[in-house]
Chains A and B, each alone.
Chain A
Amino acid sequence: MEATPKEQTKEQPKLIVSIGPHVRTDESTAKIMWTVNGALLPAALMSIYYFGLPAVMVLAVCIFTAMITEAAIQKMLKKEIAVADGSAFLTGLLIAMNCPANIPLHIPAIGTFVAIGITKQLFGGLGYNVFNPALIGRALILISFPKAMTTFTHPVANIMAFDAKTMATPLTVLKEDGVAKLLELYPNIYQNLLLGNRAGSLGETATIALLLGAAFLMIKRYITWHIPIPFILTVAAATWMFGGKEGLFTGDALFHVMAGGLVLGAFYMATDYVTGPSVRSAQIVFGIACGILTVLIRLKGGYPEGVMFAILIMNCFAPLLDRGMRSKVFGKAEAKGVKK
């Protein structure tokens, strides 16, 4: 073949060359994170309504600590500073939602620092952490400061609620004193649980606000039903079966679903993309297992609430579930019968 000198027909315009696809959705990591933050806003506002300024301070301290820690570590590791992606904000917000309102502020600050610094950044940053950072942060301070973390106050619905009286959470009352005492302390129990008019962590109280945000996230398909719904249904079924004092099938499922941190945990923490499985069928198993563990801890364990430990334990199994339940590749089954 003869070589011919290449002729340029015309001056070429400057063109961008890259591998396709050449169009993308307008979805981004930051958009997802900020949307989840937004979905938590109604619940955060409800907590401020019930617990006043102390709630604002806990929220502020956690979010501030999270973002500062993230930025500082990214700077130290000479990584791109990615605080604007909203993921650190979300971790801070979630830790605040998991604390009582009148807690000494250094405690949530420590929890947040550990969550971002150790659980997230030391494991490689966004996308690489094994455990849900907010839950590790909370587990650490719950174990280290058990008294402060379990001293809850009356939802007085007063902005200056600094000296609100302490009050036990419904789950604690149930565990330690039984149903009679519970109903004495909490009349109209379901209504109050739904609205958040009860003692508890900031974000676990107003069930209705949490459900609102969750519905929004599901409609936008930012989260799917595969983890939270099996999680909640399992807790409901298991507490109905085994949660009653008068034998099988006498438990109060509705109470158990709304009383603790289940709604917050199931919709906002078990659904964390990074630390849960990504294969849909594995997510269902993950949700059911979280539910079983939660009920085991609530009914048989030493703590009144089990959502946090249940999710953390299942975080360990997420990669295994993904591996074991790999989706069936298109045409793989048919391929076995075909001679190549």
Chain B
Amino acid sequence: MEATTVNASATFEGGVHPSGNKELSAHKPTVPAAIPKRAVIPLSQHIGAPCKPLAVIGQEVKKGEKIGETGGFVSAPVHASISGKVTAIGAFPHSMGSDLPAIVIESDGKDEWVAGLKETVDYNVLSPDELKKMVSDAGIVGMGGATFPTHVKLSPPKEKPIDVVILNGAECEPYLTSDHRLMVEKPKEIVEGLRILMRILGVKKGHIGIEANKPDAIEALKKTVAGASDIEVWPVKVKYPQGAEKMLIKAIANRTVPAGGLPMDCGVVVQNVGTAAAIYDAVRFGRPLIERYVTVTGRGVKEPKNFLARIGTPFSQLIEEAGGLTEDAAKVIAGGPMMGMSQFSLDVPVIKGTSGILVLPQAEVSTKSYGPCIRCARCIDACPMMLQPSLLGLFIEKGHYEDAKDYNLMDCFECGSCTFVCPANRPMVQWVKRAKRELAKKKN
């Protein structure tokens, strides 16, 4: 495998260099996964209010039919990803950690689209508000993993004008290659999606940031925008967490999102490349978000692959399609190894934010206990937010949550760089999560 990168200097301060391990799947073209016999569609696939179920048990539904209505403004509807019959509505294992409400559809094998999907050949005839409504109706959320409802990001308050749109194709999480494959295979869809985003926000200039270790993706997108002056493709330095919104904005627009603020506070909207492609599908073909690219990888599966999988497909099915688990498979992670969540059940379904399923073998899973902090400052150098993770850890370990807050606990976005570099193996991210939870409890 050629280890090629292009030159890139755009980046941020801090960060770490975990082994990429992308060669396991980076050059494997995406294949459609089998249509699941039984799709489990969670009513909560986004940050914000869960959906209210629209379907009832026994109802026949078609592919693309809305089965969950938004629970508020910060919410996104869910749609049937296969055609068939609703057989259950209840709590099912969810990749975010606990059992959550979901609608179960048994496939009728026909895979028929719902009637009335509206195609739009020229989206420039539509107003920004009409386009935004299409995005919102299609149930589109941030597909990089954060799953923030996209239409909310596209509705900045008047006093926060947006002048920069950035598509995030950094994919800085080790192992994952779903965005990479999407950029290589569907560059036109991504670029058109970006243009729709720019039209909605009234922005003249769009940017696409891609880590320099994906030269084929960079080239595909550069070729697609060749001759056009409205979009620029940026190779950015290979460094984790380059794909974190704030770090990407720093690298490309050289703007700093204020602490505690959002990208819109510095005039920027960032969307994942997958989200842009989904927006294109929604506007051009009227199709809601019912499938996505998913990388199934790691040395704990026999044949790492990239899939185009329906929402609701159980992890177990995709793992089987990737040759199954190896004998020594020990940990299954939804997402990448840095910020992904390890799973206790393979029944969990793919949701809109599932960028990958990573299976680590026993040998790569550390079960070492942690030792005392030796104050080596590696975490301070690594923290992209310029925090002092070592001190946060010492405070939280002893239950001093308020002190941790004084040391800017709330600015931590849990990228895991500190924990990755810690020679004493201290679980800083786990502690930060605990402190945030405890402080929230106190507030209520």
Q: Which residues of A contact B (CB under 8 A)?
A: 1-4, 6, 8-10, 12-13, 15-25, 27-29, 31-32, 82, 85, 124-128, 273-274, 276, 278-280, 322, 326-335, 337-338, 340
Query: Which of A17, A25, A328, A337 is most buried by chain B, counting CB atoms within 10 A of its CB?
Result: A25
Per-position binary interface string of chain B over residues 362-402, scored 1 when its CB falls under 8 Å from any chain A CB and 0 otherwise: 00111100011111111011001111101100000000000
Q: Shortest CB–CB separation between residue A122 and chain B, in angstroms?
A: 15
| In contact, B345 and A12 (Cβ under 8 angstroms) | yes
Which of A24, A332, A338 makes the CB contact (< 8 A) with B265?
A338
Which chain A residues lie closer than 8 Å to B331 at the CB level? 15-18, 22
| In contact, A17 and B344 (Cβ under 8 angstroms) | yes
Known contacts A273-B374, A334-B261, then 16 further A-B pairs from the complex at CB < 8 Å, ordered by chain A residue: A2-B57, A2-B89, A4-B90, A9-B314, A9-B347, A16-B331, A18-B430, A23-B18, A23-B338, A28-B424, A124-B372, A128-B372, A276-B375, A333-B256, A335-B258, A337-B258
Tell me the B320-363 residues at the A interface (CB within 8 Å): 325, 329-333, 337-347, 358, 360
Give the distance in Å from the alpha carbon of A3 to the alpha carbon of B89 in the complex: 7
Q: Shortest CB–CB separation between residue B145 and chain A, in angstroms?
A: 12
| In contact, B256 and A4 (Cβ under 8 angstroms) | no
Could you show 22 A-B contacts with beta carbons less than 8 Å apart? A12-B344, A13-B325, A15-B330, A16-B331, A21-B420, A22-B342, A23-B19, A25-B420, A25-B421, A28-B424, A29-B423, A274-B375, A278-B376, A280-B381, A329-B408, A330-B386, A331-B259, A331-B261, A334-B257, A334-B259, A338-B261, A340-B260
Which of A10, A127, A338 makes the CB contact (< 8 A) with B258?
A338
B266 at the interface (CB under 8 A from A): yes
Query: Which of A28, A85, A124, A338 is most buried by chain B, counting CB atoms within 10 A of its CB?
Result: A338
Give the distance in Å from the alpha carbon of A269 to the alpha carbon of B429 in the complex: 31
Which of A24, A28, A128, A338 makes the CB contact (< 8 A) with B420?
A24
| In contact, A16 and B365 (Cβ under 8 angstroms) | yes
Which chain B residues lie closer than 8 Å to A1 at the CB level? 53, 89-90, 101
Q: Shortest CB–CB separation between residue B11 and chain A, in angstroms?
A: 13
| In contact, A127 and B259 (Cβ under 8 angstroms) | no
Give the distance in Å from the alpha carbon of A276 to the alpha carbon of B376 in the complex: 9
| In contact, A280 and B337 (Cβ under 8 angstroms) | no
- Count contacts between A and B, CB distance < 8 Å: 198
Q: Given the known A-B contacts A23-B18, A28-B423, are A16 and B330 also in contact in the complex, defined by CB atoms under 8 Å?
A: yes
Give the distance in Å from the alpha carbon of A18 to the alpha carbon of B92 in the complex: 20
Q: Shortest CB–CB separation between residue B25 and chain A, in angstroms?
A: 16
Which chain B residues lie closer than 8 Å to A328 at the CB level? 386
Q: Given the known A-B contacts A1-B90, A12-B345, A17-B342, are A125 and B372 also in contact in the complex, defined by CB atoms under 8 Å?
A: yes
| In contact, A334 and B258 (Cβ under 8 angstroms) | yes
Q: Given the known A-B contacts A15-B331, A21-B419, are A278 and B380 also in contact in the complex, defined by CB atoms under 8 Å?
A: yes
B111 at the interface (CB under 8 A from A): no
Q: Given the known A-B contacts A3-B90, A19-B433, A24-B419, are A331 and B256 also in contact in the complex, defined by CB atoms under 8 Å?
A: yes
Chain B residue nearest in CB terms to A28: B423
| In contact, A127 and B372 (Cβ under 8 angstroms) | yes
Give the distance in Å from the alpha carbon of A223 to the alpha carbon of B390 in the complex: 17
Which chain B residues lie closer than 8 Å to A128 at the CB level? 372
B427 at the interface (CB under 8 A from A): yes
Which chain B residues lie closer than 8 Å to A335 at the CB level? 258-261
Q: Shortest CB–CB separation between residue B427 and chain A, in angstroms?
A: 7
B316 at the interface (CB under 8 A from A): yes
| In contact, A20 and B364 (Cβ under 8 angstroms) | no
Give the distance in Å from the alpha carbon of A16 to the alpha carbon of B363 in the complex: 12
B425 at the interface (CB under 8 A from A): yes
Per-position binary interface string of chain B over residues 231-260, scored 1 when its CB falls under 8 Å from any chain A CB and 0 otherwise: 000000000000000100000000011111
B174 at the interface (CB under 8 A from A): yes
| In contact, A23 and B337 (Cβ under 8 angstroms) | yes
B112 at the interface (CB under 8 A from A): no
Q: Shortest CB–CB separation between residue A54 and chain B, in angstroms?
A: 33
B119 at the interface (CB under 8 A from A): no
| In contact, B388 and A327 (Cβ under 8 angstroms) | yes
Give the distance in Å from the alpha carbon of A27 to the alpha carbon of B423 in the complex: 5
B34 at the interface (CB under 8 A from A): no
B64 at the interface (CB under 8 A from A): no
Give the distance in Å from the alpha carbon of A4 to the alpha carbon of B88 in the complex: 6
B438 at the interface (CB under 8 A from A): no
Chain A residue nearest in CB terms to B364: A23
| In contact, A16 and B367 (Cβ under 8 angstroms) | yes
| In contact, A127 and B256 (Cβ under 8 angstroms) | no
| In contact, B386 and A127 (Cβ under 8 angstroms) | no
Q: Shortest CB–CB separation between residue B383 and chain A, in angstroms?
A: 8
Q: Shortest CB–CB separation between residue B410 and chain A, in angstroms?
A: 10
Q: Shortest CB–CB separation between residue B187 and chain A, in angstroms?
A: 30
| In contact, B339 and A20 (Cβ under 8 angstroms) | yes
Which chain A residues lie closer than 8 Å to B260 at the CB level? 331, 335, 340
Q: Given the known A-B contacts A329-B387, A329-B408, are A19 and B246 also in contact in the complex, defined by CB atoms under 8 Å?
A: no
Q: Given the known A-B contacts A329-B387, A330-B385, are A22 and B365 also in contact in the complex, defined by CB atoms under 8 Å?
A: yes
Q: Shortest CB–CB separation between residue A11 and chain B, in angstroms?
A: 10
Which chain A residues lie closer than 8 Å to B411 at the CB level? 329-332
Chain A residue nearest in CB terms to B17: A25
Chain A residue nearest in CB terms to B407: A326
B42 at the interface (CB under 8 A from A): no
B54 at the interface (CB under 8 A from A): no
| In contact, B423 and A330 (Cβ under 8 angstroms) | no
Give the distance in Å from the alpha carbon of A4 to the alpha carbon of B93 in the complex: 12
Q: Shortest CB–CB separation between residue A163 and chain B, in angstroms?
A: 42
B91 at the interface (CB under 8 A from A): yes
Give the distance in Å from the alpha carbon of A280 to the alpha carbon of B388 in the complex: 11
Which chain A residues lie closer than 8 Å to B325 at the CB level? 13
Which chain A residues lie closer than 8 Å to B149 at the CB level? none
Chain A residue nearest in CB terms to B255: A334
Which of A10, A32, A327 makes the CB contact (< 8 A) with B316?
A10
Give the distance in Å from the alpha carbon of A23 to the alpha carbon of B422 in the complex: 11
Which chain B residues lie closer than 8 Å to A126 at the CB level? 371-372, 374
Q: Given the known A-B contacts A1-B53, A330-B259, are A13 and B424 also in contact in the complex, defined by CB atoms under 8 Å?
A: no
Which chain B residues lie closer than 8 Å to A21 at the CB level? 18, 337-339, 416, 419-420, 429
Give the distance in Å from the alpha carbon of A335 to the alpha carbon of B380 in the complex: 21
Which chain B residues lie closer than 8 Å to A82 at the CB level? 371
Give the distance in Å from the alpha carbon of A126 to the alpha carbon of B423 in the complex: 13
Give the distance in Å from the alpha carbon of A29 to the alpha carbon of B374 in the complex: 8
Q: Shortest CB–CB separation between residue A10 and chain B, in angstroms?
A: 6
Which chain B residues lie closer than 8 Å to A337 at the CB level? 258
| In contact, B425 and A24 (Cβ under 8 angstroms) | yes
Give the distance in Å from the alpha carbon of A18 to the alpha carbon of B430 in the complex: 9
Per-position binary interface string of chain B over residues 87-131, scored 1 when its CB falls under 8 Å from any chain A CB and 0 otherwise: 011111000000101001000000000000000000000000000
Give the distance in Å from the alpha carbon of A326 to the alpha carbon of B392 in the complex: 13
Q: Shortest CB–CB separation between residue A221 and chain B, in angstroms?
A: 9
Which chain A residues lie closer than 8 Å to B104 at the CB level? 4
Which of B372, B380, B407, B433 makes the CB contact (< 8 A) with A280?
B380
| In contact, A28 and B261 (Cβ under 8 angstroms) | no
Which chain B residues lie closer than 8 Å to A23 at the CB level? 18-19, 174, 337-338, 364, 420
